[in-house]
């Protein structure tokens, strides 16, 4: 049975060219980068070269790059590290559709006495800018928003939000994990102070991400040990992960525009085909694709359950998601769908296209979804 991987927003396959770059650091050059002997120096040099690649890609200084175990750790470091370094303010602003890495970190700070303002969103997932402006004040410690939502694909106007923050002297952290694979980001021109990214969203390895910090004085470390990475993230570096992230980012730089163009065209064709056969389906999030992540479609089907539809599609060889993969075992309705007013009486799946899907696959995918829906709907 042929299978169709439709969950690229959860993770992407490792590009063979990235693996080729990583393998020597997993085998031949396995030295500890903190060692002063020849093997250690070779590895340290590779890390420094990778750091420069990442810095150049985003238009920042190499000293701005802190490699982490992934997006979750990077977000934790951004929020907790900033709060720990600036104890004079206790109010933080976020949205109601954040990734769980942000949500749960802020939940923890709330237990410690911080006031968390969760800005509501409209039916397409865009934050209520008037509420945001009214809550933003001299008491605000920081603002943390997801740039492109991982479930419904909504792309926030981060540039405008950042300017509003800076006008009040407030720092902005952005979760750009889903944004980086699809759009060029020049942090030299953007009012962003801290930014999270993760390699496995753009065909790099799992277990490696980065926090970009324009000014290192913004942070206090949350991990302690051997003082690696200028003391901001102790622990022996994930060398081959770092090399893999840098290589994946290099490939992204040369191929991103074509990938994004193809994803947009493919998702439009897919949606048109599916809508003709199931006219009652609803696309969640922005209707205009320029305001939604390319290739990401959150679809609601009346009179069926999300898990029932996803499980049946799985049996047919179509691998989709019901929302964020980070809570795949949670049978409760997604907080993102609740926030935009999706009824709990419909079944919702997320389809995210990528390198494992071609235009030739679209008819088979559409027919598979139609078949699954007909079999599970009430």
Residues belonging to the active site: 326
Q: Three-class SS of residue 144?
A: strand
- Tell me how far apart the alpha carbons of residues 219 and 202 are, in angstroms, rounded to a whole number: 27
Which string of DSSP letters, residue by residue, matches 310-323? HHHHHHHTEE-BSS
In contact, 67 and 213? CB cutoff 8 Å: no
Closest CA to 265 of 253, 257, 254: 257
CA distances from 106 to 118, 127, 299, 330 (A): 10, 18, 29, 20
Q: How many CB atoms lie under 10 A from the CB of residue 377? A: 16
Distance from the first to the final alpha carbon of the chain: 27
In three-state secondary structure terms, 13 is coil
* The pairing of beta strand 91-95 with beta strand 140-146: parallel
Which pairing describes strands 4-5 and 318-319: parallel, antiparallel, or unpaired? Answer: parallel
- Segment 259-262 long-range contacts (CB within 8 Å, at least 24 positions apart): 259/181, 259/182, 259/355, 260/182, 260/183, 260/294
**Of 353, 179, 202, residue with least CA distance to 266:** 353
Buried b (16+ CB within 10 A) or exposed e, 39-53: eeeebbebbeebbeb
Q: Is the CB of residue 68 less than 8 Å from the CB of residue 233?
A: yes
Place of tokens 């479609």: 297
196 burial (CB, 10 Å; 0-12 / 13-18 / 19+) is: buried
Q: How far apart are CA 361 and CA 263, in angstroms?
A: 13
Q: Give the CA-trace dihedral at 216, 92, 210, 320, to 10 degrees.
A: -170
């Amino acid at each position: 049975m042929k299978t169709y991987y439709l969950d690229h927003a959860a993770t992407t396959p490792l590009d063979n060219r990235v693996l080729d770059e990583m393998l020597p650091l997993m085998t031949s050059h396995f030295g500890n980068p903190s060692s002063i002997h020849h093997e250690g120096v070779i590895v340290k040099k590779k890390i420094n070269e990778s750091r420069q690649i990442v810095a150049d890609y985003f238009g920042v200084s190499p000293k701005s790059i802190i490699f982490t175990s992934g997006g979750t750790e990077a977000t934790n470091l951004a929020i907790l590290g900033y709060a720990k370094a600036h104890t004079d303010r206790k109010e933080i602003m976020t949205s109601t559709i954040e990734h769980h890495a942000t949500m749960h970190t802020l939940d923890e700070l709330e237990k410690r006495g911080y006031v968390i303002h969760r800005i509501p969103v409209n039916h397409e997932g865009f934050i209520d800018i008037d509420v945001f402006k009214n809550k933003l004040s001299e008491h605000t410690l920081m603002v943390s928003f997801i740039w492109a939502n991982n479930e419904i694909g909504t792309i926030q106007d981060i540039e405008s939000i950042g300017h509003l923050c800076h006008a009040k002297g407030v720092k902005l952290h952005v979760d750009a994990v889903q944004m980086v694979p699809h759009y060029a980001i020049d942090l030299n021109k953007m009012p962003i102070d801290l930014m999270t990214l993760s390699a496995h969203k753009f065909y790099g390895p799992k277990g490696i991400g980065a926090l970009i910090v324009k000014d290192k004085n913004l942070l206090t470390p949350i991990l302690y040990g051997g003082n690696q990475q200028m003391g901001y993230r102790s622990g022996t570096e994930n060398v081959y992960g770092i090399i893999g992230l840098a290589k994946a980012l290099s490939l992204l730089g040369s191929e991103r525009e074509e990938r994004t163009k193809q994803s947009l065209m493919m998702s439009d064709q897919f949606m048109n085909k599916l809508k003709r056969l199931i006219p009652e389906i609803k696309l969640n999030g922005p209707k205009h694709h320029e305001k939604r992540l390319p290739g990401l479609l959150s679809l609601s089907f009346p009179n069926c359950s999300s898990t029932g539809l996803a499980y049946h599609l799985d049996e047919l060889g179509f691998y989709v998601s019901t929302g964020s993969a980070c809570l795949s075992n949670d049978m409760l309705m997604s907080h993102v769908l609740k926030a935009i007013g999706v009824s709990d009486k419909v079944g919702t799946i997320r389809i995210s296209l990528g390198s494992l899907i071609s235009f030739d696959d679209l008819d088979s995918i559409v027919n598979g979804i139609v078949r699954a829906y007909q079999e599970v709907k009430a």
